[in-house]
């Protein structure tokens, strides 16, 4: 099958392992054998053949984009225009660039998928391509039933979650002058190959999404590790739970987690299931390893933070520089550590002189994200930004109210729960200890067991 390949085609083949090249060739044979018309040679395939093969796995607009990108590949550098069908060399080169290529090679394919003409494209064309790409990922994962327990849903009212994530990815692009596209007036600015290459290099989800739609949309039987893209969703048996997050929100937040924590999310706490109780929150999230917490305020803003270490009830700050804050709605963004201070995480209860609640970033009474011990209240203070995470105000109002809060353990969850760690609940719940002392009763275990290690 490799006979008669062009030089570019042979170089593309060298990017694949033998079994991978065999699968690419098998797919081309299947496509080129479908209804060869008068204008289609036996060793090429038409748009009709590709649409027939893909079926409903991808939106028709994306199938056309992929076909146009492949037929515009110029193998000799002398072509006067795109071919009417896709030859085997064009197909192999396209697969090599999209699946195995450098940022430069991927950017060349993206430009061909966007425009029939050589040269720069408009920023608005890149914006539309990004929306089509994000929408196609949701489409194909839904079609192939690979949402892994998560749901596809739209945020209430415009914009859709597809548009929100597409806007985030598009915002990563810098124009030739090094500035980002900040408003509609810049959508007519030109984006050349260097701009697209830089964008693909920095916005890594663009390349990942291209790979997903090729593998799953073309039914390509090659290994694709979806676990690091879409984590398995685990909820305790017998519980039905609809998360504030949809599939795209999960993919976005998950892509910023340490790789060893990307494969699984396990629900630890939900205000819907476990009540509006700060004591319940503390009891369920402490000593459970890294986790993601998120809230939806009364104005519909969705935001949260990643805690890289187990939460502990104590009056000191905790955590490390892997922690971050994020927003999901009305826009998606991740805010990482500045190095200005180490106020990454804070969880306290039952104290009289320092704040009681859960916080991330900033300082006492001025947190980047704060959930008060009076559950249902919080604040996000940033004038102009949080000192720890450089985050803006995440909530609609600086002092906000919320109904929905979720905490998910990520990765292989720790099993050193308070009740199983040798600690009394009084060690981890100062409020319970205070109530016991107020009632005049003693701690019967005091003096009869070893003092637990300070973690």
In this structure, are residues 314 and 282 in contact, taking their beta carbons and an 8 Å threshold? no
> How far is residue 187's CA from residue 308's CA, in Å, rounded to a whole number?
38
Residue with tokens 């170089």: 11
Supply the DSSP string of 279-325, one letter for each residue: HHHHHHHBTS-SEEEEEEETTS-EEEEEESS-B--EEEEE--TT-EE
> Residue 355 has what pLDDT?
93
> Residue 14 has what pLDDT?
77
Instruction: Please identify every stretch of the chain with a pLDDT value under 70, giving residue numbers as ranges.
Output: 1-10, 35-42, 79, 154-158, 414-455
pLDDT tens digit sequence for 307-321: 999 999 999 999 999
> Residue 414 has what pLDDT?
66
Q: What is the DSSP letter of 100?
A: H
The tokens of 449 are what?
């067991």
The tokens of 140 are what?
């194909």
Contacts of 314 (CB under 8 A, 6+ apart): 347, 348
> How far is residue 103's CA from residue 95's CA, in Å, rounded to a whole number?
14
pLDDT tens digit sequence for 370-393: 999 999 999 999 989 999 999 999
> Residue 376 has what pLDDT?
96
Predicted TM-score (pTM) of the model is 0.87
> Residue 42 has what pLDDT?
54
Q: How far is CA 438 from CA 427, 442, 444, in A?
A: 16, 10, 15
């Amino acid at each position: 099958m490799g006979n008669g390949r062009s030089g570019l085609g042979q170089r593309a083949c060298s990017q694949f392992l033998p079994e991978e090249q065999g699968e690419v060739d098998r797919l081309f044979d299947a496509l080129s054998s479908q209804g060869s018309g008068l204008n289609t040679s036996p060793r090429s395939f038409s748009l009709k053949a590709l649409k027939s093969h893909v079926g409903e796995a991808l939106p028709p607009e994306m199938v056309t984009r992929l076909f146009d990108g492949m037929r515009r590949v110029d193998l000799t550098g002398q072509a006067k225009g795109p071919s009417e069908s896709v030859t085997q060399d064009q197909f192999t080169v396209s697969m090599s660039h999209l699946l195995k290529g450098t940022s430069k090679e991927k950017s060349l394919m993206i430009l061909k998928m966007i425009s029939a003409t050589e040269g720069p494209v408009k920023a608005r064309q890149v914006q539309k391509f990004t929306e089509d790409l994000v929408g196609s990922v949701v489409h194909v994962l839904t079609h192939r039933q690979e949402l892994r327990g998560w749901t596809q849903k739209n945020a209430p009212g415009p914009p859709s979650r597809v548009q929100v994530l597409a806007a985030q990815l598009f915002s990563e692009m810098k124009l030739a002058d090094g500035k980002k596209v900040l408003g509609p007036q810049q959508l007519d600015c030109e984006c050349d190959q260097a701009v697209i290459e830089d964008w693909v290099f920095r916005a890594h989800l663009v390349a990942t999404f291209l790979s997903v739609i090729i593998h799953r949309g073309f039914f390509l039987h090659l290994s694709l590790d979806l676990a690091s893209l879409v984590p398995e969703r685990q909820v305790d048996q017998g519980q039905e739970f609809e998360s504030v997050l949809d599939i795209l929100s999960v993919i976005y937040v998950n892509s910023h987690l340490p790789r060893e924590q990307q494969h699984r999310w396990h629900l630890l706490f939900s205000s819907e299931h476990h009540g509006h109780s700060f004591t319940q929150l503390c009891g369920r999230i402490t000593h459970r390893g890294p986790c993601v917490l998120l809230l939806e305020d009364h104005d519909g803003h969705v935001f949260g933070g990643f805690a890289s270490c187990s939460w502990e009830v104590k009056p000191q700050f905790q955590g490390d520089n892997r922690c971050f804050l994020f927003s999901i709605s009305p826009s998606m963004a991740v805010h990482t550590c500045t190095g200005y201070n180490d106020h990454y995480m804070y969880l306290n209860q039952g104290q009289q002189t320092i704040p009681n609640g859960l916080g991330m970033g900033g300082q006492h009474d001025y947190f980047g994200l704060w959930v008060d011990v009076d559950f249902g209240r919080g604040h996000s203070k940033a004038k102009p930004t949080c000192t720890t995470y450089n985050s803006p105000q995440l909530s609609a109002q600086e002092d906000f109210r919320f109904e929905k809060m979720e905490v998910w353990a990520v990765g292989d969850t720790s099993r050193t729960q308070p009740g199983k760690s040798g600690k009394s609940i009084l060690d981890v719940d100062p409020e319970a200890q205070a109530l016991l002392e107020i009632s005049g009763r003693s701690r019967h275990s005091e003096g009869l067991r070893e003092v637990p290690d300070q973690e």
